[in-house]
């Protein structure tokens, strides 16, 4: 900013000259005093310059409306929306979200640094402001095959990018506790930056050791006592309310006036149908208010709290000197968004995006599909014991249970009782051409026929598939291979529906309208399998995440997360 611009700001703030824009007569949500203040909001050069009584070259009537800071999601994996950043911006801005802090470790696990660079480039000139955290765990563990390895030296170039704020969720908390040298190098390299955490159920001295490494936040709390302990030890707790993991109801009692400024509301993973049907942070805010949280405190958790934690000093408040990112609400109970301003420009009104998104190119070189030696035999499970270790799916959580189940055989192969809610599960390696296929069993999907498969499988994103018959599982994987990634439902040995995800096997190159049409067809096809889950693909994707207890599947086999090792599927 030069002195001429600064003079203009000062003159406008003093009322000597008209503002560029005035939001007239609104009820300003003051996140500093936790009060509602009736005032005009004056904007000049994309910045808020005053609250009070102002005149402007453009005046927008905001009487009986609430003027809030633009919402900030402090932890989102953009890839979970199945959209590129450029296609996501027109969806989020009408919902009141003006800033994201994204962790691109999904695409990094497929394509490495090239994937991160794609996300930075694709989001560089959007009306939605997107910052990133450098992926800390690529791969997440040694118990799976990923498409890339990002060592500390590979992350160093990201330190120079002003849109990379710090080190993303340190999922390898055992590596921190065991003083793994590569893990410690990454933490040391980012010693002057923010370091996000990921430490489900970590407690006591182990939690103290984790925090001593300089890690400051956690979004993996699932229990009230866990959130309270982490808050008491100085962590910023991100309360997650996403598509799969919904922790708001359980954790909200931990939020009290004394610690609310250390709490954030985040979505983590949000699928497109939820964005269209429910919304984004506006929906989470409404749920929090419905559960009894003071609406101003709730708004703090998606504005000033996030801005201050991530060092975004220009964001998070409706006050002089702050960037004019503004969300206008009809009421604080409904959280219905009427208008959204980004840097003082009207970008959305009454649910419609009004801005422009730059054309994106360069999708052809980021596919990430390399499958070798695929055969029916690899989906058949030899009977090698009387008891099997079964993954127990837990609704609305990414935690799973370890279940022991007595099994039977037929012609030397495992034979499942069709009356039991247990189906075959496989994880097919798709990056290095190893030919690995990890086999398992899962309970809780309610699938009675057909197969469901996805190339979205956190965090290494190999292909994960469930089914009753190996033949249908093989067909589903072949369809995904041909699409270069995607989601598919197979029924009666035929493809019932599919959704191509050609960008790293994670994202579509189409708009949300196209993706939603394809997804609706998928969900109709899912009903043919008997599966009653609202979104089985999201649930399926987390069965391959070997950093969340208790039992998971990777291309190398069954993982006992508590022991952090591969275990046999069957034993005596």
- pLDDT tens profile 447-477: 999 999 999 998 899 999 999 999 999 999 9
Whether 316 and 417 map to the same domain: the answer is: no
Comparing 92 with 139, the larger pLDDT belongs to 92
Mean pLDDT to the nearest integer, 525-536: 93
User: Six-digit token pair at 80?
Assistant: 């979970």
Summary mean pLDDT of the chain: 95
- pLDDT tens profile 256-267: 999 999 999 999
Residue 417 pLDDT: 83
pLDDT at 113 over 60: yes
Q: Is residue 41 included in any domain, yes or no? A: no
In the structure, what pLDDT confidence band is assigned to residue 309 with cuts at 50, 70 and 90? very high
pLDDT at 372 over 90: yes
Whether 312 and 410 map to the same domain: the answer is: no
**How many domains does one find in the chain?**
2
Whether 343 and 391 map to the same domain: the answer is: no
Structural domain for 439, as ranges: 376-571
In the structure, what pLDDT confidence band is assigned to residue 396 with cuts at 50, 70 and 90? confident
Task: Tell me the percentage of the chain whose pLDDT exceeds 90.
Answer: 88
Whether 386 and 344 map to the same domain: the answer is: no
Q: Is residue 26 included in any domain, yes or no? A: no
Q: Is residue 22 included in any domain, yes or no? A: no
In the structure, what pLDDT confidence band is assigned to residue 364 with cuts at 50, 70 and 90? low
Whether 389 and 533 map to the same domain: the answer is: yes
Q: Is residue 359 included in any domain, yes or no? A: no
Termini Cα distance of the chain: 72
In the structure, what pLDDT confidence band is assigned to residue 363 with cuts at 50, 70 and 90? low
Which residue is listed with tokens 């003093």? 14
Residue among 335, 327, 371 at smallest CA distance from 481: 371
- pLDDT tens profile 1-44: 788 899 999 999 999 999 999 999 999 999 999 999 999 999 99
Whether 299 and 332 map to the same domain: the answer is: yes
Residue 564 pLDDT: 87
Task: Tell me the percentage of the chain whose pLDDT exceeds 70.
Answer: 99
Residue 212 pLDDT: 97
d(CA 426, CA 454): 11
Long-range contacts (CB closer than 8 Å, 24 or more residues apart) made by 246-251 = 246/396, 246/397, 247/221, 247/222, 248/284, 248/287, 248/288, 248/291, 249/291, 250/222, 250/223, 250/224, 251/221, 251/222, 251/224, 251/227
Cβ-contact 92, 100 below 8 angstroms: yes
Whether 228 and 171 map to the same domain: the answer is: yes
Residue 471 to residues 270, 477, 491, 572, Cα–Cα distance (Å): 32, 10, 11, 28
Tell me 80's DSSP state: G
Q: Is residue 252 included in any domain, yes or no? A: yes
Whether 443 and 486 map to the same domain: the answer is: yes
Residue 397 pLDDT: 81
Which residue is listed with tokens 């939603």? 516
Q: Is residue 533 included in any domain, yes or no? A: yes
Mean pLDDT to the nearest integer, 554-566: 93
Whether 340 and 487 map to the same domain: the answer is: no
The model's pTM is 0.91
Whether 85 and 209 map to the same domain: the answer is: yes
Q: What CATH number is attached to the domain comprising 105?
A: 3.20.20.140
Whether 332 and 396 map to the same domain: the answer is: no
Residue among 548, 538, 145, 75 at smallest CA distance from 368: 145
Residue 571 pLDDT: 86
Q: Is residue 38 included in any domain, yes or no? A: no
DSSP three-state, residue 238: strand
pLDDT at 362 over 70: no
Residue among 362, 459, 403, 313 at smallest CA distance from 85: 362
Q: Is residue 6 included in any domain, yes or no? A: no
pLDDT at 361 over 80: no
In the structure, what pLDDT confidence band is assigned to residue 365 with cuts at 50, 70 and 90? low
Residue 188 pLDDT: 97
Whether 458 and 502 map to the same domain: the answer is: yes
Residue 488 pLDDT: 98
Mean pLDDT to the nearest integer, 357-386: 84
In the structure, what pLDDT confidence band is assigned to residue 419 with cuts at 50, 70 and 90? confident
Strand partners of residue 323: 47
């Amino acid at each position: 900013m030069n002195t001429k611009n600064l003079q203009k700001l000062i003159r406008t703030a003093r009322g000597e000259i008209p503002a560029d824009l005035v939001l007239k007569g609104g009820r300003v949500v003051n996140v500093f005093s936790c009060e509602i203040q009736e005032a005009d909001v004056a904007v000049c050069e994309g910045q808020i310059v005053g609250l009070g009584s102002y005149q402007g070259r453009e005046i927008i009537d905001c009487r009986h409306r609430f003027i809030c800071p633009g919402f900030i999601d402090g932890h989102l994996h953009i890839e979970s929306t199945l959209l590129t950043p450029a296609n996501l911006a027109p969806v989020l801005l009408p919902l009141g979200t003006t800033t994201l802090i994204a962790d691109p470790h999904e695409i990094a696990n497929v394509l490495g640094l090239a994937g991160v660079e794609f996300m930075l480039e694709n989001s560089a000139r959007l009306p939605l402001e997107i910052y990133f955290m450098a992926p800390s765990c690529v791969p997440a563990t040694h118990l799976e095959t990923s498409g890339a390895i990002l060592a500390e030296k590979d992350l160093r170039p990201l330190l120079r990018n002003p849109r990379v704020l710090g080190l993303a969720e340190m999922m390898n908390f055992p590596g921190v506790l065991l003083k793994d040298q590569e893990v410690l190098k990454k933490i040391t390299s980012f010693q002057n930056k923010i370091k996000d955490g990921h430490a489900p159920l970590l407690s006591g001295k182990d939690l103290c050791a984790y925090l001593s490494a300089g890690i400051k936040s956690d979004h993996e709390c699932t229990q009230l006592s866990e959130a309270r302990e982490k808050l008491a030890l100085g962590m910023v707790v991100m309360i997650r309310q996403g598509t799969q993991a919904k922790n708001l109801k359980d954790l909200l009692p931990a939020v009290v006036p004394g610690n609310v400024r250390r709490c954030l509301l985040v979505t983590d993973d949000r699928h497109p149908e939820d964005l269209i049907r429910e919304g984004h942070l506006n929906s989470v805010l409404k749920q929090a208010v419905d559960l009894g949280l003071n609406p101003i405190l709730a708004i703090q958790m998606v504005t000033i709290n996030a801005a201050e934690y991530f060092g975004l000093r220009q964001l998070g408040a409706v006050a002089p000197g702050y960037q004019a990112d503004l969300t206008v609400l009809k009421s604080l109970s409904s959280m219905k968004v009427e208008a959204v301003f980004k840097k003082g420009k009207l970008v959305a009104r009454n649910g419609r995006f009004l801005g422009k998104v730059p054309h994106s190119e360069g999708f052809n070189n980021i596919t990430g599909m390399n499958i070798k030696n695929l055969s029916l035999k690899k989906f058949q499970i030899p009977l090698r014991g009387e008891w099997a270790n079964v993954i127990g799916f837990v609704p609305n959580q990414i935690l799973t249970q370890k279940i022991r189940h007595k099994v039977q055989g037929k012609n030397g192969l495992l034979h499942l009782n069709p009356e039991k809610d247990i189906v075959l599960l496989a994880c097919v390696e798709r990056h290095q051409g190893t030919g690995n296929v990890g086999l398992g069993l899962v309970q809780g999907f309610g699938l009675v026929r057909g197969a469901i498969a996805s190339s979205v499988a956190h965090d290494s994103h190999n292909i994960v598939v469930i089914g009753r018959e190996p033949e249908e599982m093989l067909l589903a994987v072949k369809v995904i291979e041909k699409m270069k990634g995607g989601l598919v439902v197979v029924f009666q040995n035929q493809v019932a529906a599919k959704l191509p995800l050609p960008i790293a096997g994670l994202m579509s190159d189409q708009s949300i309208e196209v993706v939603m049409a394809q997804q609706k067809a998928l969900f109709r096809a899912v009903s043919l399998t008997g599966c009653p889950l609202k979104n089985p693909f999201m649930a399926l994707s987390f069965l391959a995440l070997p950093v969340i207890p208790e039992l998971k599947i990777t291309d190398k086999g069954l993982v006992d997360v508590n022991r952090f090792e591969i275990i046999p599927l069957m034993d005596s």
